[in-house]
């Protein structure tokens, strides 16, 4: 199954690594911010606790004699004056209650009048003892101090403190942290992106060369690029170049072999053709001789003329078939039934030589939109291969059909079966990796190359009953061929 292109595993490494760096930076900055803010909150709370303790200590010592005497005015006066004093914190409300829990005086007397009982909701805001309770949502801190005189609890100071400035300081720190971290993260991710991109430059060069090699000539990497890459990549490039040289050498060898193979098959064909021409020649020379000697006899003349005509027609057919096949490899006219049937003439000498029978089944009509020359050559090579593979006195069969937009040509023989390496070579989608052939008669490389030229596909079957069936399937072309015909 093809991996989804959107899936992170399919992303280029030059994107993945900077992203990873950015993600790590975000994680680190989140952790650092969290630590800084927690520490800041702790420090602020400690600081607030110290300030409130100092504030309450000062208040408590000045209030004590007045609370003892329950002197409402003096208690209020002290609370009122302490409000204006800058003690580093902002008390919003301060309430002094006597030992019975009744208000002696509050900094805001309209809210809690003198001698009124402390409401339960008010008491709930304060922790037992001297603890500091922080209500962040309300931007308030609550603390209290119990005043003791000679071991007796004489009153309590309740202080409500505005911590909005502390919270504002905290959010300012948070904002600074966020902005700084964001800029740092973006900066590092950008640097990471370009650094990784630069580091991966040689990999891209290698990938580009490998891609090109797949399409044709394997091109070595230029020396300046190797020097530029340096280090491990330079060594890698040199190894690649050595490999490219080996591949190119092998390809040249394969081309040479193919050329030789082509010449060999041409030679074989030529000798067959000579034989085909030679056969009627004997009869024709006899006819000429008979004409010379008994030319005055009309019947002899007539017979001789017929023999000469038959012989010449036979020679014409053979020559035409050969011309058709080798006229021009890039000929693009559509193939006809007769073009295919002609092939029988060309392999006739081979059939005769090995005493083979040919079962020919051609079910296609005229004008099939596949390139005539390439298909004929491929078909001829397949037939010659089948003749070569078939044992003496056996049969080869050919079946030509049209099926769902495909031109199909199947050649079957009763030979020992196509070795696996040739089979996989024929069936592979890539013809460039030609196997070095130890059997020059097979001409597989040509078949494969012709099939590639016309966009055909080759399938090889080795049935259990023995022999080999090779099928050539060529998609019909819908336009163009008729015009050049």
Partner 1 sequence: MQLVQRRTYQEITALLLSGQLSGAWICGYPYVRYREHLQLLAVPIWLGKPLYRSYVIVDKQRAGESFDDLRGDIHAYSDPDSNSGFLVTTALLAEMGLRPPDFFSSFFYAYGHRNVVRAVSSGLAQSGSVDGYVYEVLREVEPALTEPTRVLRKSEWLGFPPIAAPAEPRDPEATELLTQALLRMDKDESGREILKMLRLDKFEREAPEMFDRIAHKFEQVQRLG
Residues that bind partner 1 (CB under 8 A): 71-73, 76-77, 80, 105, 108-110, 113-115
Q: Are 14 and 196 contacting, i.e. CB atoms less than 8 angstroms apart?
A: yes
Q: How far is the CB of 105 from partner 1 (least distance, A)?
A: 7
Q: Are 82 and 168 contacting, i.e. CB atoms less than 8 angstroms apart?
A: no
The 10 Å Cβ neighbour count of residue 248 is 15
Q: How far is the CB of 62 from partner 1 (least distance, A)?
A: 15
Q: What is the DSSP letter of 115?
A: T
The partner residues of 471 in beta bridges, in order of sequence, read: 410, 459
Q: Are 97 and 104 contacting, i.e. CB atoms less than 8 angstroms apart?
A: yes
Q: How far is the CB of 71 from partner 1 (least distance, A)?
A: 7
Closer to partner 1 at the Cβ: 105 or 308?
A: 105
Q: Are 170 and 41 contacting, i.e. CB atoms less than 8 angstroms apart?
A: yes
Q: How far is the CB of 137 from partner 1 (least distance, A)?
A: 29
Question: Which among 437, 431, 422 is positioned nearest to 214, based on CA atoms?
Answer: 431
Closer to partner 1 at the Cβ: 113 or 455?
A: 113
Query: Cα separation of 218 and 240, whole Å?
Result: 10
Q: How far is the CB of 76 from partner 1 (least distance, A)?
A: 5
The partner residues of 474 in beta bridges, in order of sequence, read: 407
Q: How far is the CB of 94 from partner 1 (least distance, A)?
A: 13
Closer to partner 1 at the Cβ: 89 or 106?
A: 106
Closer to partner 1 at the Cβ: 114 or 485?
A: 114
Closer to partner 1 at the Cβ: 29 or 62?
A: 62
Closer to partner 1 at the Cβ: 97 or 444?
A: 97
User: How would you classify the pairing of strands 357-362 and 457-461?
Assistant: unpaired
**Contact partners, residue 203, CB within 8 Å, separation at least 6:** 233
Closer to partner 1 at the Cβ: 39 or 69?
A: 69
Closer to partner 1 at the Cβ: 34 or 80?
A: 80
Query: Cα separation of 352 and 357, whole Å?
Result: 8
Q: How far is the CB of 156 from partner 1 (least distance, A)?
A: 19
Closer to partner 1 at the Cβ: 40 or 92?
A: 92
Closer to partner 1 at the Cβ: 104 or 447?
A: 104
Q: How far is the CB of 72 from partner 1 (least distance, A)?
A: 4
Query: Cα separation of 131 and 52, whole Å?
Result: 10
What sections of 70-159 are H helices per DSSP? 72-84, 120-123
Q: How far is the CB of 75 from partner 1 (least distance, A)?
A: 10
Q: Are 484 and 369 contacting, i.e. CB atoms less than 8 angstroms apart?
A: no
Q: Are 143 and 126 contacting, i.e. CB atoms less than 8 angstroms apart?
A: yes
- What's the Cα-to-Cα distance from 449 to each of 321, 426, 427, 429, 454, rounded to whole Å? 22, 10, 12, 11, 9
Q: How far is the CB of 157 from partner 1 (least distance, A)?
A: 17
CA 374-414-461 angle, 5° bins = 60
Query: Cα separation of 183 and 177, whole Å?
Result: 10
């Amino acid at each position: 199954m093809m991996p989804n292109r959107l899936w992170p595993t399919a992303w280029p490494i030059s994107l993945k690594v900077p992203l990873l760096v950015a993600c790590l930076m975000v994680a680190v900055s989140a952790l650092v911010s969290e630590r800084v803010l927690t520490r800041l909150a702790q420090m602020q709370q400690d600081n607030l606790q110290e300030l409130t303790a100092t504030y309450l200590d000062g208040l408590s010592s000045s209030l004590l004699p007045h609370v003892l005497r329950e002197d409402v005015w003096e208690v209020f006066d002290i609370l009122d004056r302490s409000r204006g004093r800058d003690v580093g914190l902002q008390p919003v409300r301060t309430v002094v209650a006597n030992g019975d829990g009744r208000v002696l005086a509050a900094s805001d007397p309209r809210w809690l009048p003198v001698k009124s009982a402390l409401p339960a909701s008010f008491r709930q805001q304060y922790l037992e003892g001297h603890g500091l309770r922080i209500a962040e949502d309300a931007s308030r801190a609550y603390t209290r101090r119990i005043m003791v005189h000679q071991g007796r609890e004489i009153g309590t100071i309740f202080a409500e403190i505005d911590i909005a400035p502390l919270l504002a300081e905290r959010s300012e720190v948070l904002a600074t942290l966020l902005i700084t971290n964001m800029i740092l993260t973006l900066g590092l991710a950008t640097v990471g992106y370009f650094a990784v991109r630069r580091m991966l430059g040689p990999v891209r060069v290698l990938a580009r060369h490998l891609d090109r090699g797949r399409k044709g000539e394997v091109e070595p990497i230029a020396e300046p690029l190797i020097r530029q890459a340096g280090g491990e990549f330079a060594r890698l490039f040199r190894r690649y170049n050595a490999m490219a040289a080996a591949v190119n050498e092998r390809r040249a060898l394969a081309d040479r072999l193919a050329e030789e193979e082509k010449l060999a098959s041409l030679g074989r064909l030529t000798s067959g053709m000579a034989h085909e021409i030679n056969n009627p020649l004997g009869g024709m020379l006899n006819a000429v001789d008979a004409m010379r000697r008994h030319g005055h006899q009309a019947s002899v003349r007539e017979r001789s003329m017929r023999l000469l005509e038959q012989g010449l027609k036979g020679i014409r057919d053979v020559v035409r078939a050969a011309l058709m096949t080798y006229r021009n490899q890039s000929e693009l006219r559509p193939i006809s039934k007769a073009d295919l049937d002609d092939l029988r003439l060309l392999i006739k000498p081979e059939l005769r030589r090995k005493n083979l029978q040919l079962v020919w089944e051609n079910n296609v009509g005229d004008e099939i939109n596949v390139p005539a020359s390439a298909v004929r050559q491929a078909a001829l090579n397949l037939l010659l291969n089948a003749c070569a593979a078939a044992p003496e006195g056996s049969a080869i069969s050919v079946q030509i059909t049209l099926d769902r937009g495909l031109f199909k040509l199947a050649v079957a023989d009763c030979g020992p079966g196509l070795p696996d390496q040739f089979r996989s070579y024929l069936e592979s989608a890539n013809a460039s990796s030609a196997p070095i052939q130890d059997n020059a008669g097979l001409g597989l490389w040509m078949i494969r190359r012709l099939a590639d030229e016309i966009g055909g596909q080759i399938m090889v079957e080795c049935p259990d009953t023995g022999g080999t069936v090779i099928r050539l399937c060529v998609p019909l072309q819908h336009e163009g061929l008729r015009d050049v015909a």
